[in-house]
Chain A
Amino acid sequence: MSTPVSPSDWRAAGRWRWPEGLLWLLAFALPALWPGHALIVNEIAIVALFAVSLDLVLGYTGIVTLGHAAFLGFGAYCAALFAKHIHPDPVLGLAVGVVAATLLGALCSLTILRGSDLTRLMVTLGVALLLLELANKLDGLTGGSDGLQGVVMGPVLGRFEFDLYGQTAAWYSLSVLLLLFALARRWVHSPWGATLMAVRDNPLRAAAIGISVPQRLAAVYTLAAGVAGAAGALLAQTTGFASLDVFALERSADAVLMLVIGGVGWLYGGVLGAVVFKLLHDLISAWTPQYWTFWMGLFLVVLMLVGRERLSPARWWRARGEGA
């Protein structure tokens, strides 16, 4: 992380390579090859998008947050409400979710500009809990603890109906993931993205060379909120349902865990972590449904004691000079 990178290398690292293309092709082929597993592909695509969004905040800018689910949930509820009361078109609903979450992110970015890690942790957590309480209490609008039911989606782009096996849903989510992933990649590999990392590594020095630290923090927080909102909107649209657990602490904690598994400060880290995490989750909860949090906790503790840098796949990738 601390090895100096020349500007041309840095930009070159942002270029696409053919193995990645293969990887994405494979991802898009999966729902067709195994229609029975399309639902889990869909889920993985959504949490991967959420983890990528968290990576922008946590990995690239170093803002410690345990409340990123606030934006996921807000996007989910906005998209679900839009579909239920205004218009069932998914793409339009997605846009509404993104815009709403971006606005919320802009508002919340005011809260994370000052203070230590602990203060930020508390404030981000507080925002998520605040929204959870709101969604719980405004039961006329959100359905309270029963969740928001009866969301019926129209066909994607007016052509592709959502089917029972989730193939359409999987392709829809994968497309949005690919689009936003490419965008996020453009951001972090621009000069602007490099200043984010400068802020992460040393805010004082970053400010001294003329980077406006509060402005960078606010901007990245807002952008990431929008991406998380997209993930939330996808979640609500493909399941036809929005419930209180989208705001839960577990959501945020899971996303942080995914990032840590895949590698922080590396966009594929979020995607890789999401794949590993979801598969592990399925495996363990099939084996012991009630106590799987124990194994997840144990995994976290061991991972932290051993040191996450030592296990991170990002290191192997970077060692070959192919950092994404």
Chain B
Amino acid sequence: MTLLFDGIAYGMLLFILAVGLSVTMGLMNFINLAHGAFAMVGGYITVVLMQRWDLPFLLCLPVAFAGAALLGAALERTLYRPMYRKPHLDQVLFSIGLAFMAVAAVDYAMGSQQQIIQLPEWLRGRTELWDGALGMGHYRLFIIVVCALLTLVLQWVLTRTRFGSRLRASVDDARVAAGLGIPVNRVFALTFAVGSGLAGLGGALGAEVLGLDPTFPLKFMVYFLIVVAVGGTSSVTGPLLAALLLGLADVAGKYYVPKLGAFIVYALMIALLMWRPQGLFVRKGAR
């Protein structure tokens, strides 16, 4: 049970980190390997604010979101936009170059050691239920609650608001959407910013669980990509389920067969992608 709980918390975290990536890939067919860099930025913003200026943890989270979102918007306007029409190989190289730069720059600015976040008192404890059958770390519970709320909000925005329907129209067919007068570029810029912001938030939340050091973007890049590749890019629920599956498999694998480590996750991914190359949860008719 504890394992299940930890797996869900981990999966939720991965979902928040990766959902922005899934939208960028779905919308503009752009392979962005630098997504983890935004998560790292969020994490480091939190660390700096908490250690240097003693801001409370809860206040840091929105700042991390805003910081990563602003950075995302700025980069989208200047660097990413010319890359949309290039072939996939160029996009891969471009974004991996960005990721390399981010890693080295953070290493230079902050040092290569692991950063530690001091959680507030009320998040540190642990509750045991049913004679220890289910041990819930308070912080993990907090992560699950926050991520679940975010998921609901995202789902609501996507399905019920005008912006959501514009976004979905642009995902399905950008040219027709533009023909109908939807400002596809602006929709995309906003989405990119929000996606980066969510990654930043995920990085801030996950700094304690995943560990935060300058190699973060490269270390977790694979995990984000797995979520997107397995979950498909056409909905919120696909990546969510994929992230939960990945979180559970990783935690369970590392607990039961520590000798194999991350082996299970990679094997599972290859098997899944061979079975369903377009991802597990794909809408019928989507490209």
Task: List the interface of chain A (C-beta within 8 A of B).
Answer: 58, 64, 66, 110-111, 114-119, 121-123, 125-127, 129-130, 133-134, 136-137, 249, 253, 256-257, 260, 264, 290-294, 296-301, 303-305, 307-308
Q: How far is the CA of A116 from the CA of B105 in the complex (A)?
A: 33
B100 and A294 form a contact (CB under 8 A)? yes
Chain A, Cβ-Cβ closest to B106: A294
From A125, A133, A305, B260 is in contact (CB under 8 Å) with A133
A residues within 8 A CB of B98? 297, 301
Chain A, Cβ-Cβ closest to B233: A118
Contacts A122-B225, A133-B263, A134-B263; A301 near B104 (Cβ below 8 A): no
Task: List the interface of chain B (C-beta within 8 A of A).
Answer: 25, 31, 79, 82-83, 86, 88-94, 96-105, 107-108, 218, 222, 225-226, 228-229, 259-263, 266-267, 269-270, 273-274, 277-278
From B25, B104, B222, A125 is in contact (CB under 8 Å) with B222
B269 and A304 form a contact (CB under 8 A)? no
From B88, B93, B99, B260, A257 is in contact (CB under 8 Å) with B93
A121 and B90 form a contact (CB under 8 A)? no
From A133, A136, A301, B266 is in contact (CB under 8 Å) with A133
Contacts A114-B277, A122-B229; A58 near B263 (Cβ below 8 A): no
Q: How far is the CA of A281 from the CA of B86 in the complex (A)?
A: 27
A291 and B263 form a contact (CB under 8 A)? no
Separation in Å of the B244 CB from the closest CB of chain A?
18
Chain A, Cβ-Cβ closest to B221: A249
B97 and A299 form a contact (CB under 8 A)? yes
Separation in Å of the B103 CB from the closest CB of chain A?
6
List 10 additional contacts besides A115-B273, A126-B269, A294-B105; criterion CB under 8 Å. Answer: A64-B88, A66-B92, A123-B273, A126-B273, A137-B261, A264-B89, A290-B107, A297-B100, A304-B83, A304-B97
B104 and A294 form a contact (CB under 8 A)? yes
Contacts A256-B93, A301-B94; A133 near B101 (Cβ below 8 A): no
28 contacts between A and B (CB under 8 A): A64-B92, A115-B277, A115-B278, A118-B88, A122-B269, A123-B269, A125-B225, A126-B269, A133-B263, A134-B263, A256-B93, A264-B89, A290-B104, A291-B108, A292-B104, A293-B101, A293-B103, A294-B101, A294-B105, A297-B99, A297-B104, A301-B101, A303-B93, A304-B91, A304-B94, A304-B97, A305-B79, A307-B86
Chain B, Cβ-Cβ closest to A134: B263
Q: How far is the CA of A64 from the CA of B229 in the complex (A)?
A: 15
Which DSSP category, helix, strand, loop or mixed, fits chain A's interface? helix
Separation in Å of the A317 CB from the closest CB of chain B?
20
Q: How far is the CA of A264 from the CA of B93 in the complex (A)?
A: 13
Separation in Å of the B208 CB from the closest CB of chain A?
25
A residues within 8 A CB of B82? 305
B residues within 8 A CB of A130? 263, 266-267, 270
B residues within 8 A CB of A297? 96-104
A residues within 8 A CB of B103? 293-294, 297
A249 and B104 form a contact (CB under 8 A)? no
B278 and A308 form a contact (CB under 8 A)? no
A residues within 8 A CB of B222? 125-126, 129
A residues within 8 A CB of B229? 118-119, 122
Q: How far is the CA of A294 from the CA of B267 in the complex (A)?
A: 32
Q: How far is the CA of A249 from the CA of B102 in the complex (A)?
A: 16
B99 and A121 form a contact (CB under 8 A)? no
B90 and A301 form a contact (CB under 8 A)? no
Chain A, Cβ-Cβ closest to B229: A122
B residues within 8 A CB of A137? 259-261, 263
Contacts A119-B229, A130-B266; A300 near B274 (Cβ below 8 A): no
Q: How far is the CA of A304 from the CA of B99 in the complex (A)?
A: 14
B25 and A111 form a contact (CB under 8 A)? no
A126 and B278 form a contact (CB under 8 A)? no
Separation in Å of the B243 CB from the closest CB of chain A?
15
A294 and B108 form a contact (CB under 8 A)? yes
Q: How far is the CA of A201 from the CA of B92 in the complex (A)?
A: 19
Q: How far is the CA of A127 from the CA of B93 in the complex (A)?
A: 20
B278 and A304 form a contact (CB under 8 A)? no
A residues within 8 A CB of B262? 129, 133
From B89, B226, B261, A133 is in contact (CB under 8 Å) with B261
- The 4 nearest A-B residue pairs measured at CB: A300-B97, A115-B277, A297-B100, A294-B104
A119 and B89 form a contact (CB under 8 A)? no
Q: How far is the CA of A116 from the CA of B279 in the complex (A)?
A: 10
Q: How far is the CA of A129 from the CA of B225 in the complex (A)?
A: 13
A residues within 8 A CB of B259? 137
A300 and B270 form a contact (CB under 8 A)? no
Contacts A130-B267, A300-B96, A301-B94; A121 near B225 (Cβ below 8 A): yes
Chain A, Cβ-Cβ closest to B94: A304
A119 and B263 form a contact (CB under 8 A)? no
